[in-house]
Structure formats: C-alpha cells, structure tokens
Structure 1
Amino acid sequence: MGGLLTLMRYSKPYLTIPEQRELLERRGMTVADPAKCEEYLRRIGYYRLSAYWFPFRQLSQNPEGTHTLANNFKPGTTFKNATDLYAFDKGLRLIVLDAIERIEVSVRTEFALAMGSISPLAHRDRNNFNRRFSQFAPPRTQSMYQGWLQKLDEKAANSNEEFAEHFRTKYAREIMPIWIAVELLDFSPLSIGLSQLKHQQQQAIAASYGGISFRLIQSWIRSLCNVRNICAHHSRLWNKPVINQPAIPRRGEAPDLDHIATAPDTNKRVYATLAVMRLLLKEINPRTRWATRLKGHVATFPNDAPNISLKDAGFPDNWHQLPLWS
C-alpha cells in the first residue's frame, strides 16, 4: 500500500576477518599490506571503519536520473586512505573534547553564580525560570521543570561522587545549594536549565562572555551537547552533519564570526562548531593555545586521499589566517 514502509530482511552473512579484507579488495579497494589491514579490522572493526571509506564509494545512476551509493570503490582508493582519515578524526575528537570540557565547566560555574545570586535554593523555585519550563499538557504528566528537578534529586540521592556522599553524610536533612548541585548536572540538563533562565540571569551570563548575545550562547551550548555525544561515543565527527546547528550571528554581532555569517548552510558542518568554541575559549581562557593545537592537527589532514577535502567539513579557504584563529 502507498505510504507504507517496505520491510527488508537482513541477509548479510557473517564474515571472518580475512573474508572482510577480501570483500574490500573485490570491491576495488587496494590493500597494500593484508596483515596490517586485518589487524585494523580486528582492532577497530569493519563497521566503524566503514564510516571512513564512505566518501570513497562510487555513485551509480538510476534510470530516473537519481544516484545511489554503490558498494564498489572509486579508482585509486586504498585501505590506508580510510585508516588515515580514521586517525585524523580520532585526534580531532580529542581536541574538541578538551575545548568542550573547558566550556562546560565555565557554563556550570556561570549557571551556579546566576542562580546563587537569587538564593542558595533558587533552582528549586519554578518561579525563577521562564514560565514555559513549568507548563505541560496531556498526555505528559509533569512539566519539563519537574522532570529536570526530579533527575537532579535522583543524582543528589544516589551519586557516588565524594562531594555528594560528604554532603549526604554531614547534612543529612539539608538540600544541596545550587553551587553544589550544579556539579551533578550532565551537560545536556545543564544546557536545558541554562536555556530556561529569566532575562536578568541571562544577561549576567552574556556579560561574562564578553557581551555575546544569550540567544547565541544557549544555541551554541545546545549544539555542543550533541558534538560532545559524538565524541564520547567515538563516532565520526570530521564531516558529519551537525544536529542542533549552532546559531550563526548576524553580521557585526560577533565580528570574529563574520566570515561564516553569510555562507549558506555553514553551520551544518563541524567548522562552524570549532569557530564557536574558539570564540568562547577566547573569553574563558584568553591565554589558551587550543587554537594553535587545532591548526597543527588540521594541517595533518590526509590531503593525498582522493575525493575528500577539508571543505567537506566546512573549512573555508585560508581559515587559519583569519583573526579568529590568530
């Protein structure tokens, strides 16, 4: 029937490591060192590595003029092309995680300061957040705020962190103040709480980041949550479309980002995320050498591999010479 999804039966057979290598060769991939190829397949896995030979697969044209990704590889593709790209992406994820850690710690502190300025338990009063945080409609049985607070309470009651156990022991009948409780929030619920602050607290946080619009800050933090999850799960990052794309400032709103303000769909690739992280780090730690490390790593991109380019990750020409990266 029209509109119904046709279900397919999975029928691919189990393949041993040598059979996996032979399959790649039959599909047109050059394997210069079979033993090393099999070592990679055993240590990393066929499926994980397949994300890195994806750009090297051929396109086949359908009768109606559309294209389908074929199993065969483009001429000149080598197994080393895929493993070089894998190694580059692994290094990129580590550099990104380092920046996100610094940003997360900073945002956590700013959230605690903004709420703590109201009262030690300001986070337990829904009136200290935007009204929509407390609203809900059937079939939901609780508001976002109630769910957020419930998860925080569960963390406070069950966390094995030393500071949490110490607080439960010494202050058994007390509720954690926000500047302690905030340390129990994972990055995602932290970003949710941040986005629901009232205007006065939003402006205080924006001021601490050099006056960057809070509209941009909350969008960037939400986007970085997704990027962090990609890195934490060791997934491909370098050319993956970004979910929850970071908002791009209007021209002149953040001059260091003007070079991406007018480029179409620029925030759908990782470069825009890297640029946002760089801008935040300039405010958080002006002396950081993170940008230098990133530029050094990007210089190792395997440019000799056919059919891939840094443009696939959203990098503009001569990006490293822009004021943002100086």
Structure 2
Amino acid sequence: MSQYSKPYRAVADQIALLQSRGMVIDDVPKATEYLSRLGYYRLSAYWYPFRQTTKSANGAVVVLDDFKPGTEFKWATDLYAFDKTLRLQLLDVLERIEVFVRTGVALTVGKHDPWAHREPKLLDRRFTSKNPTSGKVPHTDWLARLDDKAIGSKEEFAGHFRTKYPKSHMPIWIAVELLDFGPLSHFLAGLKWVDTNAIATTCGVPRPDLFASWVRSLSVVRNTCAHHARLWNKPLIDQPKLAAGGAVPLLDHLATAPHTNRRIYAACAIARYLLLAVNPRTQWSQRLKAHMATFPTNPYVTMNTMGFPKGWESLPLWK
C-alpha cells in the first residue's frame, strides 16, 4: 500500500491549487469562507463530477486532477447546499417510517411474550443460528449490543427502568426505543415470516422479505443523512429489492430502467410509498418535488445521476 504523501495546505494554498487546475473562483473571500467552514475534503466530493477524465490503455476511465472547461467553485457549493436540504427532507420522512416500524415490532412481537426478542424459538431460525461464514450467531451479537445500550443509555426512561427493575431486562415495547434504525432493521429481518408479514401488510407490501429489504435500505440512507455525508449522486450501499411487476403498481416504474434501485430515487420512491400508510396526510411529496425543482444547473451534472426518471413528478406515486 502506498504511503500518503500529500502535504498540508492552508486555505489560501487550497484556492491557489484549485485555480491552477482550472477552477474559476470569482469570489475568493466567499470561497475562503466555504473552505474554512466546510473543509476542502468534504467539498471535493461535490466538485469531483467536474474533473476531467481520460481512458487508460485498457479502456478504464481515469479521473484527472484538472477541471472541465469553465468549472466554477459555485457549482460545487450549490450542489452542497442542495444536498444538505435533500438530507434534511429525507430525515423527516425516514424518522416517521422508523417510528412506525418500531411500534409495529413492539405490537407484533410483544403479543407473543414481553421478552420475545430474547427468545430464539420466537424468531427466525436464520437469525438465531450460527453463520457458517463468520461462526457467529446474529441474534446473540444483536442482543449483546442491545444490552450494552440498555446499560449505558443516558435516556431518562432507561435510567428509570434500571433503577426500578434492576434484575429485569426491558420488555420489547421499551427495548425497541433503544434501537437505532440499523439495528431495528436487522431485528425486523430476524422475525418469523408471519410477524414480518403482519407489519408489512399494514403498509401494503406484499412480501415480508421485500419489506425487510426496503427498511434495511432506508436505514442506511438514514445513517448517511444523519452523518451529513454526500447523498445526491451516491450509489445506494444496500440496494432495495424490487417488487415483481403488478405486485406494487405504484412502484412498477422502478423496474423499467436498469439499475434503478441503485440510486437515491429508489429510496425516495419507497419512502413515499410507505408514507402513504404511515402518514397519508403528509405533504412531504410536494416538498420533495419543490426541492428537486431547485436542482442546480450547469453543463456537466444532471439529475440523472440520482436515478430520477424523466417525468417522475407526474407519476401516480407522487400525486
């Protein structure tokens, strides 16, 4: 592995470097403010699409340091601002879905036993059996992380429970409040088919594995948003499964273009569909459409990198 050798650069030197590579910076004081406040490395993800490319001898695309003709610093900061608002809008809808799933898990699993989440016989065998590759039991690891949270949580309800019931584990309807979206999605996938299906049905999702896949994908998007990471043109790390044609008519259009489920549009569409059950009166879809209409214009970047199909805002899903 090569040793990192790039030198430290003060903000003035960063600006000089960008200019030497062909970036147009008309307002140096404002560029200085952005680089001082947000950082070169964070912003570099937003000017990356404006870098020139070439092909190697074997045909692979090579990204160069120099920028495409006319590239402006403002284009990158406009994309940054657009992405920030997009993350905030998605956090709003994903919070609603997360709380809905938490409640669904508590009501569905809790009726079997207050501590059903600790009982392997009440969960899916794949979740409670040893993984042949890692040699670990997913449920055991998941439960250990939950118990660590129960012991260390500074939430008032957790402290109250520890004081009042020092010899008891939390029942599922309390323990579920300790779960972030990621661990919650893992537990959802670890439920028995009938239980996952019961929750999925309330959202109009025809298969429990489909529902678990969607929730898992959305949990990863939520983590991206919560950590203020780039979202707008980033491939989905955990790609959601697509329903068979006709199974979820409002989402049939996701299967009409290749790799549609790899981009953020798929997450937005799935979130919108689930929101129809979770909070049907919300105006989130209208806010998203209004925000997407503000997508920054420049010669080199379009909304296609986000997976939004042409005319998406007129589809029945978004009306």
Aligned partners of 1:20 and 1:46 also within 8 Å: yes
Query: 1:12, 1:178 → 2: CA distance?
Result: 51
Give the match for residue 307 of structure 1: 300
Q: Secondary structure at the match of 1:9?
A: coil
Query: 2:3, 2:260 → 1: CA distance?
Result: 38
**Aligned-partner residue type, residue 183 of structure 2:** P
**Aligned-partner residue type, residue 260 of structure 1:** L
Give the match for residue 242 of structure 2: 248
Deviations 1:158-200 (A, max 9, x none): 2111111111222222321110111111211111110011122
Give the match for residue 183 of structure 1: 177
Query: 1:241, 1:141 → 2: CA distance?
Result: 30
Are residue 84 (structure 1) and residue 78 (structure 2) matched? yes
Query: 1:138, 1:261 → 2: CA distance?
Result: 33
Give the match for residue 316 of structure 2: 323
**Which of 58, 69, 74 matches 2:52?**
58
Deviations 1:107-150 (A, max 9, x none): 00001111111111111211001112221167856511111112
- Structure 1-normalised TM-score? 0.94
1:23 to partner: Cα distance: 0.7
**Aligned-partner residue type, residue 96 of structure 1:** L
1:211 to partner: Cα distance: 4.3
Query: 2:132, 2:188 → 1: CA distance?
Result: 25
Aligned partners of 2:185 and 2:215 also within 8 Å: yes
Give the match for residue 211 of structure 2: 217
**Which of 2, 7, 17 matches 1:23?**
17
Aligned partners of 2:123 and 2:192 also within 8 Å: yes
The 3 A distance-change label for structure 1 pair 113 and 10 is same
Aligned partners of 1:92 and 1:297 also within 8 Å: yes
Q: Secondary structure at the match of 2:6?
A: coil
Aligned partners of 2:205 and 2:248 also within 8 Å: no
Query: 1:89, 1:219 → 2: CA distance?
Result: 25
Alignment of 1:228-239 (within 5 A): 228-239=222-233
**Greater displacement, 273-282 / 136-145:** 136-145
Q: Secondary structure at the match of 1:279?
A: helix
Query: 2:145, 2:284 → 1: CA distance?
Result: 34
Give the match for residue 273 of structure 2: 279
Query: 1:82, 1:118 → 2: CA distance?
Result: 53
The two structures, once aligned, show a CA RMSD in angstroms of 1.5
Q: Secondary structure at the match of 1:291?
A: helix
**Greater displacement, 224-233 / 29-38:** 224-233
Q: How many residues align?
A: 319
**Runs of 4+ in structure 1 over 3 Å off:** 63-66, 137-142
Give the match for residue 138 of structure 2: 144
Ranges in structure 2 where 5+ consecutive residues have no aligned partner: none
Aligned partners of 1:133 and 1:143 also within 8 Å: yes
Deviations 1:242-301 (A, max 9, x none): 111011111111111111122110011100110000000011000001111111111110
Ranges in structure 1 where 5+ consecutive residues have no aligned partner: 1-6
Query: 2:267, 2:234 → 1: CA distance?
Result: 12
Query: 1:89, 1:137 → 2: CA distance?
Result: 38
Percent of matched pairs sharing the same residue? 54
1:240 to partner: Cα distance: 0.4
1:24 to partner: Cα distance: 0.6
Q: Secondary structure at the match of 2:89?
A: helix
Q: Secondary structure at the match of 1:154?
A: helix
Aligned partners of 1:61 and 1:68 also within 8 Å: yes
Q: Secondary structure at the match of 2:54?
A: strand
**Which of 192, 196, 202 matches 2:196?**
202
**Greater displacement, 252-261 / 172-181:** 172-181
Query: 1:185, 1:192 → 2: CA distance?
Result: 10
Give the match for residue 260 of structure 1: 254
Give the match for residue 160 of structure 2: 166
Deviations 1:74-122 (A, max 9, x none): 1111000000000000110110111111111000000111111111111
**Aligned-partner residue type, residue 310 of structure 2:** D
Aligned partners of 2:193 and 2:208 also within 8 Å: no
Query: 1:321, 1:72 → 2: CA distance?
Result: 39
**Which of 102, 108, 111 matches 1:114?**
108
Aligned partners of 1:76 and 1:306 also within 8 Å: no
Aligned partners of 2:217 and 2:238 also within 8 Å: yes
Q: Secondary structure at the match of 2:52?
A: strand
